[in-house]
Amino acid sequence: MRFSTPTAAVLAVMAASVASVPTATPNLLERSLPSVIAASTARTKLASLTVATESNSPAYDRDLFNTWIIISGTCDAREYVLKRDGASVTTSSACAMTGGTWTSPYDGVVSTNSSSFDIDHIVPLKEAWVSGARSWTDAQRETFANDVTRPQLLAVSASSNRSKGDSDPAEWLPTNTSYQCTYVRAWVQVKDYYSLTIDSTEKTALTSILSGC
């Protein structure tokens, strides 16, 4: 993910508006992602996913995924998810966030500053690319990058999103352990819906986590 280095003034504002808590309330965390499948369903779908070695040829380019298209009214996908995942959210006529509170399911961070939150792709764009999206059309990649119907986009703290990067569940999981089951259920659901492959270490990690869900 490309991002600029915050200025001292911006860091001061973010520090004042962000607090870390152990966990957020379960109902708040669950409401963020739409229609996450049950663990039993995830286990069944995981067993049917194709295991294959990842390929980055041709090389991944984020620009091949047209992110943040308009979803509803004047709201693009990013703004749509911020509105969906926040509490008491207010916006301008252009759908800029003017108020609200956001809780990051990944690490329990709470903020009243929407700019301190990123929109995470549960299955990262590069992960999708090396798992099959490299053969998709531009339209298919755009749909994937802006999918608000499946459990694929989630408002999370910028720090947790950047810690995750392009990692799969064998390499990274939310530090909020109570959210890990939801996370891997969503991961499997998205991979299944888009017929993306998984690698062997990824499958091992997913199987292990889902066995405890």
In the block, tokens 């490309």 appear at: 2
Q: Which residues of 43-77 are buried (b: 16+ CB within 10 A; e: fewer)?
A: bebbeebeeeeeeeeeebeeebbebeeebeeebbb
- Residue-wise pLDDT for 14-60, tens only, equals 233 333 333 333 344 444 788 999 999 999 999 999 999 999 999 99
Contact residues for 41 (Cβ-Cβ < 8 A; gap 6+): none
Domain range summary for the chain, segments of one domain joined by +: 17-211
Terminal-residue alpha carbon distance, the chain: 30
Encoded amino acid at 108, one letter: G
pTM summary value: 0.85
| The pLDDT of residue 155 | 97
Q: Is 10 exposed, middle or buried (0-12, 13-18, 19+ CB in 10 A)?
A: middle
* Nearest residue to 29 (alpha-carbon basis) of 183, 163, 164: 183
Q: How far apart are CA 102 and CA 185, in angstroms?
A: 22
- Closest residue by Cα to residue 202 from 25, 20, 52: 52
Mean pLDDT of the chain: 88
CA distance 207 to 213: 10
